[in-house]
Amino acid sequence: MTPTQKISSPIAAIQGYEGCFHQQAAIDFFGDSVQVLPCDTFRQVIDAANHNASVTAGIMAIENSIAGSILANYTLLQKSKLKITGEVYLTINQQLLVNPGVTLADIREVHSHPMAILQCMDYLEKFPHWKLVETEDTALSARHIHQRRSRHQAAIAGTLAARMYHLDIAAKNVHTIQHNFTRFLILQKEANAKVAGDANKASIRFQTDHTQGSLARVLNFVAEHNINISKIQSMPIPGTKFRYAFHADIEFADAAHYQNFIQGFKKVADGIEEYGIYKGGQNK
């Protein structure tokens, strides 16, 4: 590389506004230099990752330890033709954010996404005089509090939003359930998707032949090959009468182990699609 050449920063398409948890997931995976392209919907994230040449990857939440799977995103994944190249498990810690110098006694309103408000209700009920205002995004709430310079409004959002919008944390970790995790997928175009040498996880989709015991035979085959299924999700097959496909996240020792397994798996399962082979994230 010559002195005049620069390594461009990765750009990640995210759902939500700057300062949101999707941006934190992008930072955790790509590092502090990552730039983000905020999108209103997950569908827009997929479209940007597929068709915007400047976008390195899309970041998409797929499941939460409290709310469960985001089923619509499995459908988006299947139709996208993007490949999973990694994952991030992120602890969702909610903070009560205020403008500098504002105290709890000053607060009259708390703004945030309805899910975040629900997650923090045990704390918020200690202040019955606070008006709870639902918004479309936690990070957007933080931005609005900063822009208005209000002494009487607070937001519930993450620490990244606090840093980005120069807000103080008036109360830390105000969520009721302290162990709340969201799993995010890193999605890239197939041409750019490189399998890591230390890959130990794959996401696949398969069908069974709909006869008695067919799923049991598939699962027995998996067990016989020392493969761990860390997640299995059934999804209806459009246009069929109550037939289902299965999305499975599987863990294995190394690439040779996986290749040996998948070759045999094709003989016991139908319609196998491979969404990605990647290094599994740390579920702390």
- Rounded average pLDDT over 42-69: 95
> Confidence band (pLDDT; 50, 70, 90) for 27?
very high
Least confident residue range of 1-5, 129-133, 166-170, 255-259 = 1-5
- Fold exhibited by the domain 11-91+181-189: D-Maltodextrin-Binding Protein; domain 2 (3.40.190)
- In this predicted structure, the answer to whether residue 3 has a pLDDT above a threshold of 50 is no
pLDDT at 212: 81
Q: Strand pairing of 68-69 and 57-64? A: antiparallel
pLDDT in tens, 105-131: 999 999 999 999 999 999 999 999 999
Quick one: CA dihedral 262, 263, 264, 265, positive or negative?
positive
Sheet containing 244-251: give its strands across. 228-236, 244-251, 201-207, 270-278
Q: What percent of the chain has pLDDT over 70?
A: 96
Q: DSSP for 208-233, please give it.
A: ---STTHHHHHHHHHHHTT-EEEEEE
> Confidence band (pLDDT; 50, 70, 90) for 178?
confident
- Rounded average pLDDT over 246-269: 93
CA distance 131 to 146: 18
- Rounded average pLDDT over 268-277: 93
Task: Locate the domains of the chain by residue range.
Answer: 11-91+181-189, 95-171, 201-277
- Fold exhibited by the domain 95-171: D-Maltodextrin-Binding Protein; domain 2 (3.40.190)
- At residue 38, what is the residue type? P
| DSSP run (H or E) holding 240 | none
The CATH number fitting domain 201-277, selected from 3.40.50.2300, 1.10.357.10, 3.30.70.260, 1.10.1760.20: 3.30.70.260
> Confidence band (pLDDT; 50, 70, 90) for 214?
confident
- In this predicted structure, the answer to whether residue 94 has a pLDDT above a threshold of 70 is yes
pLDDT at 41: 96
pLDDT at 192: 87
Q: 11-91+181-189 and 95-171 share one CATH topology?
A: yes
- Rounded average pLDDT over 188-196: 88
CA distance 135 to 41: 15
User: What is the token pair recorded at 283?
Assistant: 């579920």
* pTM, full prediction: 0.91
Mean pLDDT rounded to a whole number for the chain: 92
